Chain A
Amino acid sequence: MIPAPDLNLSVLLPIILVAIGSMTILMGEVLLSRADTVLGREVTESFIGTVLAGTAIFFFALTLWASGVAFAGGGVQVFNPDNPMYQLDPFSSFVTAVLALSALLSCALSITYLSELRINHGEYYALIMLSASGMMLMVAAVDLIAVFLGLELMSIPIYVLAGFDRRKLRSNESALKYFLIGSFASAILLYGMALLYGVSGGTSFEALRAGFDADNPMALVGLGLVVVGFAFKISMVPFHQWTPDVYEGAPSAVTAYMSVTVKVAAFATLIRLLAMAFGPLEASLETIFWVLSALTIVVGNIMAIIQENVKRMLAYSSIAHAGYLMIGLVTGTIEGYSAMIFYLIAYTFMNLGAFGVVVALANRGNDCERIASFAGLARTRPGLAAVMALFMLSLAGIPGTAGFMGKFKIFMAAVNSGDIWLLIIGVLMSVVSVYYYLRIPVLMYMREPEDESHRTEIASGEGAVLVVCALAVLALGLFPNRVPTLLFGDLDVLDWANRSVGMFFGG
């Protein structure tokens, strides 16, 4: 008889909550769409949408709470001690909390937008929750099998989400390009995993670390293919060409969600893979990361200058930010990794906020996409213009905002590990980026309004998300180690980032 393994189900709680949420939404939509009235209220399409979004937000809030409790408890818990594949530790619980928060904000952002585009279907929230559960699995995985499953569970729902506006050709095209590039990248990643398995004889990170031999060409090719597979996901140059097309064609709310969460999850997984499975970077790999990071920063920033579409501009800007984040990978120190985590949090709020403004301007099926259409927004929509200006300043890295603090931390880590040239490239390109980011505030505040096709009122969900993001950007920029909140006292985000990556360095 096979002895029953000693399973610890409570470790899976964050993922289980999200998965249950997505099933609840799928069933809820079927039941709701057959009812005429619920609790005395007539069931309309927008009512269903609001209820389902509320369910998604509720489950994400539960996940946030569960992972927060796990993070506060500290320690490392595994699901199956005999064969650990999934591990809830300070790192995974913290990243899970960040993912749950950004997914929650994206759901709140989508409610009115979906009605405006007339694509208000309940599957939307179920797909968001499924992909979030994949990300949470991926960042907590300590086995290649779990990494692969998490990656696919993250990607496949997002392929569908990119094409969610299925009557629009641009949405179709976005989904198709993302699907082709994404599945090609996962095949490459898988071949790399197969080679690594061939070298080490096991799929767990522990076995990889024991069996990894830098003199074996098969090991190096395998590692290279795995890195290339992830490079597609984080849109590292030269694997970035899909990013602007996909971000532009997908519905803006989906772009907001995927530009933020996919990056957080993929970077967190890379950190864990490099820290746990391959030890400190091999010198050769460090050089490769150095070159790719410099290339990514330069190409992202230069290409963003010539864009006329705000979503494409933000796509290239997200490529540039991936380049800054990679500086942390190059350093390979605890300081670099913790700076990456802090930067990812700052990036989450500012990018979600910037796309949130684009979402809030969308009107009757038309995305407000041209940069020129922001002209004179300060006169017609002063509140939106103010937060948009704040997010642009933060993305450019102006002091007093979260973006500055993140860049400062990353550059400090580069200095302390001796990567002076990377620092110089990063700072110079940040100066270049000010040009294209500040174009939007200049248009909003110094030009006359010309395009009158924006939406004229803001929905409560969008307003709440924008206020939260704006406050977070300011708070993280002004007091990164004691964010004041009314409910929970002062929050020390920098210390959390340090604690979460500290576990890789015996902390």
Chain B
Amino acid sequence: MLPMDHVIALSAILFTIGVLGVATRRNLIVILMSIELMLNAVNLAFVGFNRIWSQVDGVAAIDGQIFVLMVIAVAAAEVAVGLGILLAMFRNRDSVNVEEVNLLKW
């Protein structure tokens, strides 16, 4: 069986990739995907930790798994709203480049 440390490390790596994606990419769709990647890294961490704790206690601890279901549901709602905002923006300016979003500053 896979050691749990590896699962947690993978989730940390995925999360970092997501953060870097949000910070460096200029295409809004890619930024949205990076945020999804961060959320999925969180899900992986929850499942991994849940696995560890259920082995420690010997009882069915399922808090982490329930949290994952909540995160998945909320992420779906968030993406729906995010794409809606993106679409409204695209209709007004024909671009999804984040650098052109610059009317408001200082």
A interface residues, Cβ below 8 angstroms from B? 144-145, 148-149, 152, 156, 159-160, 163, 166-167, 169-170, 172-177, 179-180, 183-184, 186-188, 190-191, 193-195, 197-198, 201-203, 244-245, 248-249
Contacts and interface: CB of A to CB of B under 8 A. Distances in A.
Contacts of A169: 92-93, 103
A183 B42 contact: no
Interface string B1-37: 0000000100100010010001000001001000100
Contact of A183 (B78, B86, B101): B78
B89 A172 contact: yes
A152 B67 contact: no
Interface size class of B (residues with CB under 8 A): 35 or more
Report whether over half of chain A's contact residues are helix, strand or loop; otherwise say mixed: helix
B67 A159 contact: no
Contacts of B41: 191
A197 B63 CA distance: 9
Contacts of A179: 81-82, 85
A245 B101 CA distance: 11
B42 A190 contact: yes
Interface string B86-104: 1011001100001001011
A476 B89 CA distance: 43
A148 B63 contact: no
B63 A249 contact: no
Report whether over half of chain B's contact residues are helix, strand or loop; otherwise say mixed: helix
Given A174-B104, A190-B39, A249-B103, A148 B70 contact: yes
Nearest to A153: B74
A248 B67 contact: no
Contacts of B103: 169-170, 173, 249
14 contacts: A145-B63, A148-B67, A152-B77, A156-B74, A160-B85, A166-B88, A177-B101, A188-B38, A191-B15, A191-B42, A194-B46, A197-B50, A203-B67, A244-B104
A187 B42 contact: yes
A184 B35 contact: yes
B89 A187 contact: no
Contacts of A197: 46, 49-50, 63-64, 67
A198 B8 CA distance: 10
A-B pairs with the 4 shortest C-beta distances? A187-B38, A198-B49, A194-B45, A245-B104
Interface in B37-70: 38-39, 41-42, 45-46, 48-50, 52-53, 56-57, 61, 63-64, 66-67, 70
A156 B66 CA distance: 21
Given A167-B92, A194-B42, A194-B46, A183 B35 contact: yes
A139 B67 CA distance: 19
Given A176-B28, A191-B45, 20 more contacts: A148-B70, A149-B70, A156-B78, A159-B82, A163-B85, A170-B103, A172-B85, A173-B89, A174-B104, A176-B89, A176-B101, A184-B38, A187-B15, A190-B71, A191-B15, A194-B11, A194-B42, A197-B63, A197-B67, A203-B67
A173 B101 contact: yes
Given A163-B88, A249-B104, A187 B53 contact: no
B39 A203 contact: no
Contacts of B67: 144-145, 148, 193-194, 197, 203
Contacts of B22: 180, 184
A174 to B, nearest CB: 7
A156 B104 contact: no
Nearest to A144: B67
Given A176-B28, A176-B86, A160 B104 contact: no
A416 B67 CA distance: 41
Nearest to A303: B106
A239 to B, nearest CB: 14
A183 B67 CA distance: 17
B45 A195 contact: yes
B85 A175 contact: yes
